[in-house]
Amino acid sequence: MSNFEVIFQDSGTKARRGRLKTAHGEVETPAFMPVGTSGAVKGITPQQIEESGASIILANMYHLLLRPGIETVEKLGGLHKLMGWDKPILTDSGGYQIFSLSSLTKVDDDGVEFASHIDGAKVYLNAEEATKIQNRLGADIIMCLDQCTAFDIEQQQLKRAVERTINWARHAKKAHSNSKQLLFGIVQGGINPEMRTYCASELVKLAFDGYAIGGLSVGEGHNNMINTVSQTAQLLPADSPRYLMGVGMPADIIAAVKAGVDMFDCVLPTRNGRNAFAFTDNGPVRLRNNALIDDCNPIEAGCDCYCCRNFSRGTIRHFFNCGEMLGPILTSIHNLRFFQRLMAKIRKAIEKDKFTDLAKKMVIDY
């Protein structure tokens, strides 16, 4: 029986409203996952994450492998216990770090050697090991090891990375040994339609529990991203969840939902929050702005988050300018809630078959 079902299908677009079942509960889709790279969403308690409306969060296997180490996570009661979160968790496999830490890596057809960004120690990962480590961590959804590349990589190198991604996916599928976990394959191929089609077709043959679209939001621009997403999403099974990795700008999310994507993750809500950048329905608010010095309004009128119910823009500006850690925390709380309100609006619009109207309005607003 499938762990994913499409409940509503928008009549004017490819957008769909679904439900994903995991060992730690159900996820209503389209869904946005806050990122807790090393086991914590920066500056935010699990209770605050839950209050934002999030039902699933993300952690990164590569970073947890370096610190505190898999054995330590197990001794501390497992990943859910470590994170203080009894709802679904997804762990990434380290494929993005092959790209983001490229100066510290050596990649061949068998796997990747990292020089730890912490102390330089050598860490080797292949597809089997990355899968077994995630099996031990116990996340509800785990990812195959893949090779993420720059969007403008030379085509022969791109083809090699795609072949590796497919081969590693085969090894990951064989190594996967925790039946309580869902294993997702990751489609790579840059912005090359032929490579995306080839990669997707080979992964679909392996019958994964879900499929991710990786290797985007790496400088290719909105139009290239959405063209690639639109093409790739339709190559993936209709009865499987589709996850666009690392994409979080509201306009990108709306366009990807329109193309049939179900899941998203990004560090933007908290990273931008720590840098005094707040998301609102009327565009960004930059909270260090002198114009806000005595502004008694909340970050966003009508927002029901703890920050907007209790603090003004002027107060938060003051916290940022005097280095008070409450400023970044409050803005992150608001941003996390903004993204969950966005996803709730999207789900409701799809249910009422009014997503096309909502998408047009949101694209103008954002």
Do 194 and 202 contact (CB within 8 A), yes or no?
no
Q: From residue 219, give the alpha-carbon distance in Å to each of 4, 102, 225.
A: 31, 16, 9
Which residue from 239, 222, 265 is spatially nearest to 363, judged by alpha carbons?
222
User: For this structure, is 209 an active site residue?
Assistant: no
- Region at 140 (left for phi over 0; alpha for psi -120 to 50; beta for the rest): alpha
User: For this structure, is 92 an active site residue?
Assistant: yes
Long-range contacts of 286-292 (CB under 8 A, 24+ apart): 287/313, 287/316, 287/317, 287/320, 287/327, 287/331, 288/317, 288/320, 288/321, 289/317, 292/317
Query: How far, in Å, CA of 192 to CA of 28, rounded?
Result: 31
Cβ neighbours of residue 182 under 8 Å, at least 6 residues apart? 3, 22, 140, 141, 142, 209, 210
Query: How far, in Å, CA of 284 to CA of 145, rounded?
Result: 35
Which H, E and C letters describe 152-200, residue by residue? CCCHHHHHHHHHHHHHHHHHHHHHCCCCCCEEEEEECCCCCHHHHHHHH
Determine how β-strand 111-115 pairs with β-strand 105-107: antiparallel
As a whole number of Å, the end-to-end CA separation of the chain is 39
Phi, psi torsion values for 250, nearest 5 degrees:
-55, -45
Tokens of 104: 């510290």
Do 113 and 103 contact (CB within 8 A), yes or no?
no
Query: How far, in Å, CA of 339 to CA of 343, rounded?
Result: 6
Radius of gyration of the chain (CA): 20
Which residue is catalytic, options 140, 209, 252, 265?
Answer: 265
Which residue is catalytic, options 10, 92, 140, 209?
Answer: 92
Tokens of 138: 């116990």
Catalytic residue ranges: 92, 265
